[in-house]
Structure 1
């Protein structure tokens, strides 16, 4: 195919070619994985970045996101206000002790109040004092310039706000905010020199072209880190009965995102265990980053299985140095 070689020589994949590669079954999935691997190896060698989530505020959300067990339409089993500073800093200590490179502080809701931002920033200042090597990613929802400036000053390295789906399909996923709201949040963070993290959720009924459009949208906003989530259906949500993914389709999606965004951190995120199943290790031939531990309201596999998988692949954990 020589796709990777052409990309490394400066010939970026066009939207038309990406759609052809993704949809034409004559392009074997494992061949696309191999091309993606060549790019992953060029930019990241055999290193894996590890991330850990703290669900710092659960439920209590006015949004109607169709994939989310914390939306306004769900009666959450996990429903609590913002946890204490001590719980946030203790989570960072656990992350640092387990070779985690990025600690992700996540809040449910449309966006944080100024009081909540102050709570998060105070926590981050303590984390940075105790664990200066640990990167902190905040995921707090829609924010404004003043809040972004406070997060930057406190030491937040990265901000996550996923596009989730294509602009065309957005209203099928959520109606309580717009696609542009999400783009604007990422642009606000970039304006304050906070590394942008933005990704997608695949398996919600989107088309092949939607998936290709997602990959290029993330290229356009220049996301540094791209988490690729695979829908883990939650009963009672709009997409709770969907089952559109197979392990091989997940691999094809990951390969596409690497080919379109060759130098970016591609992270396998939520749903990898239930959708990739026995092919999780193969997926790390494409992606260079994973979450370790549980997600927001769904469980991950035992941490040791991830560490064993990394070791078995002959990979090493990226300590950021």
Structure 2
């Protein structure tokens, strides 16, 4: 019997892989990634059945970000050409979300550029959240580094989930961003949890991390007890410091998802940006690797897949929307 399948059976029953078992996963050559999939598929089915969650985002405030994250086109430090506009009005944000009613999308998220928002901007988002809740739309927001008082206000406004990526392992973070530190991101996640919000936190992969650093990030997310883990695969953007990094292979993408599924067996793993560009013909295998959700529609500065294409993919894989 496949060693990794036996390991997955134990993970599905609550056994956390020990250091030696994790090392065995990490050392597996990418050419043998497929041997992980029967086990990761078992773990996914144990916790999520045949359901796949679908979320989508709107770019609520774009460009001119003061932070220097080396993968991001919206950073003012890099000079990339992107749309630039202030925070949209509450009514416009709410109408965008209301258009999703009956579409099969589970959650609508408002995403803003910048390190964080002002109190006035937080109130605008709060008004949009109240309007969306009244229409039965499940809400999420990604507004940067916030104080606990702001997260408390958003929770009181009816926000269900807060998204705040840690981006990468703490050992790599200083090479990716210098305008704020990893601890600030961890604090924001902790504040969101303390406010009673569901938390979505993951990272960007293909930015120079090793497989050991994928596991390092996973263990931080495990300690923070986040609810969902978004997985973004880098699309190198001209003008950013990472524009020339070597691309990910499809098998490495599948291994990254698999590592996260082994180490975070009961957490929602949502595959987001860069999935088509990096996984190419192996894209449908993300679910067997452990993904329990996908982000559909467009991303912040790049086009994504249509909802119709993603619903067809889910059906073709014998799965169903959550």
TM-score normalised by the chain length of structure 1: 0.95
Shift of 1:244: 3.3
Native 8 Å contact 1:57 1:80 kept in 2: yes
Which residue does 2:43 correspond to in 1? 39
Name 2:135's counterpart in structure 1: 130
Identify which of 98, 107, 111 aligns with 2:116: 111
1:228 counterpart (225, 228, 231)? 231
How far apart are residue 122 of structure 1 and its match? 0.4
The alignment status of 1:100 with 2:127, answered yes or no, reads: no
Q: Deviations over 1:270-309 (max 9, x none)?
A: 1101001121211122201001101110111233211110
Of residues 190, 193, 197, the one that matches 1:190 is 193
* SS, match of residue 97 in structure 1: coil
Residue 243 of structure 1 aligns with which residue?
246
- 1:55 counterpart residue number: 59
C-alpha distance in structure 2 between counterparts of 1:14 and 1:91, whole Å: 45
The more displaced of 193-202 and 204-213 is 204-213
The answer to whether the 8 Å contact 2:30/2:251 transfers is: no
Hey, what's the Cα distance between the residues in 1 that align with 2:251 and 2:157?
A: 42
Matched, 1:312 2:316: yes
Q: Work out which of the residue numbers 85, 88, 93 in structure 2 matches 1:88.
A: 93
CA contact under 8 A between 1:19 and 1:212: conserved in structure 2?
no
Counterpart residue number, 1:175:
178
Change (3 A) 1:110 1:309: same
Q: Is contact 2:162-2:197 (8 Å) kept? A: yes
Separation in structure 2 between the aligned mates of residue 108 and residue 41 of structure 1, nearest angstrom: 35
Which consecutive unaligned segments of at least 5 residues does structure 1 have? Answer: none
CA distance in 2: counterparts of 1:193 and 1:15, whole angstroms: 32
Query: Cα–Cα, structure 1 residues 92 and 244, in superposed 2: closer, same or farther, change >3 Å?
Result: same
- Helix, strand or coil: the match of 1:66? coil
- 2:106·2:138 contact (CA, 8 Å) conserved in 1? yes
Q: Summarize deviations over 1:103-131 as a string: whole Å, max 9, x none.
A: 11100000010000000000100000012
Name the counterpart of 1:73. 77
1:62-110 CA-to-partner distances (Å, cap 9, x unmatched) read 0000000001223332111001222211111122232110111100000
The number of aligned residues is 316
Partner SS for 2:318: coil
Deviations 1:18-60 (A, max 9, x none): 2321223299311211111001011111111000001000012
Distance 1:32 1:260 in 2: 13
User: What is the CA distance between 1:7 and its match in structure 2?
Assistant: 1.5
Counterpart contact for 1:52–1:95, Cα < 8 Å: no
For 2:20 and 2:64, the matched residues in 1 are separated by 42
2:85 alignment partner, SS class: coil
Any conservation in 1 of the 2:172–2:209 contact (CA below 8 Å)?
Answer: yes
Q: Tell me the TM-score normalized by structure 2.
A: 0.95
Is 1:148–2:151 an aligned residue pair?
yes
Displacement of 1:241 after TM fit? 1.4
* Unpaired stretches in structure 2, ≥5 consecutive residues: none
